[in-house]
Amino acid sequence: MKKTFVYIALALTAFACKKDNYDPPSSTLSGHITYQGVPINVSSKDVTFELWEPGWGKSGAITVNVKEDGSYSALLFDGNYKLVIPRSQGPFRSITNAETKTDTMLLTVSGSRDMNIEVMPYYMVRDAKLTLSGTTVNANCKLEQIITDANARNVESVFLYVNQTQFVDGTNYLARAALNGGDITDLANVNLSVNVPDNHSANGASGDQDYVFARIGVKISGVEDLLFSEVQQINLK
């Protein structure tokens, strides 16, 4: 008698498991946020976009984080998605999609897919040159204004950040220099310099690290997220 109960219980458990389980998502959607194919660098953990998969009971977005170098990746189930970049995200504007006539992009995921998302940045940081002289990091770059119509915005300030790790942005920095937007005379020739703190190599966290990372950040007025140049490693020795 007892044995029968045990068998029935086991059988029920086994069936239940089989019925409830389905394969985990296996398709990777990845790529970069780009302007004319050039990745747009942003700060870490600040910029996201949303994927919506219509057809299910309640709707909720899958939030995809954009990494510092403008890349993203999401592990998804195959299906039809809608991609939208919320208006407040990133130092750029969405491009009106030809198919939907809005900022929403229709997307079919069937197996892994590499896809760049084209946007219209307010500016691009071009030809960023970061060099070391003594203990000072000097930066030179060109700010190319991309949006010049009614939606154009001014540069509020330009920053040069230095950090011990590859995460270099407004909340992750060891030293920083700032230049007011109003003080920039020539957007094609922006110069900044910042001193690498003496104590950084003696800092317990980094030991005798003899290099730092640096990049330029641009705060555009009326836009929350900063635009960045690519992270560069600066060897101190």
Partner 1 sequence: MVLNFLSDHLITRSMKKYLLILTAVISIITTGCLKDDEFLTTDPTNLLTDDAVWKSSDLVLSVLADLYDRYPEQQTITNWAEFTNFDEAFPSEAGQYWRTKQVDYPTGWWSLWDYGYIRDLNLFVQKCQAANELGADARARFLAEARFLRAAIYFEEVKRMGGVPLILEPMEYNFSGDPTYLQHARAKESDIYDFVISELDSVKNVLPDDAGIKSRATRGAALAMQSRVALYAGSIAKYGGSTPLVSLPGGEVGISADKAPAYFTKALEASQAVITGGKYSLYKKKAEDLQENFAALFYDKSNNPEVIFVQDFKLKSGKTQDWTLANQPWSSAEEQQGGRVNPSLNLALQYEKLDNTFAPFATNNGNDYVYYNNPGDIFAGRDNRLGGTIMLPGTRFKGVPLDIWAGVMYWKDGKYNIISGDNFGDRDSIPVAGAPKSSQVVGTDGPVDGLQYSAQTGFFVRKFMDPTVGSGQIGTRSDVWWIRFRYAEVLLNAAEAAFELGQTGLSSTYINQLRERAGFTTQLTDAQMTFDRIVHERRVELAFEGHEMFDNKRWRIAHKVWNGENISATDVTSNLGKADRVNTMIYAMWGYKIYHPGNANDGKWVYRIVKPSNVTAAHRFNLGNYYSVIGSDILSNNPKLVKNPNH
Would you tell me which residues interact with partner 1 (CB under 8 A)? 1, 45, 58-61, 86-88, 170-171, 173, 176, 222, 224
Q: How far is the CB of 157 from partner 1 (least distance, A)?
A: 12
Nearer to partner 1, 88 or 112 (CB): 88
Q: How far is the CB of 150 from partner 1 (least distance, A)?
A: 15
Contact 208, 155 (CB under 8 A): no
The enclosing H or E element of 235 equals: strand 232-235
Q: How far is the CB of 38 from partner 1 (least distance, A)?
A: 26
Q: How far apart are CA 212 and CA 232, in angstroms?
A: 8
Nearer to partner 1, 32 or 192 (CB): 192
Q: How far is the CB of 188 from partner 1 (least distance, A)?
A: 28
Q: How far apart are CA 162 and CA 32, in angstroms?
A: 24
Nearer to partner 1, 32 or 66 (CB): 66
Nearer to partner 1, 117 or 225 (CB): 225
Main-chain dihedrals φ then ψ at residue 6, nearest 5 degrees: -60, -45
Contact 156, 122 (CB under 8 A): no
Q: How far apart are CA 183 and CA 187, in angstroms?
A: 10
Q: What is the token pair recorded at 138?
A: 């000097």
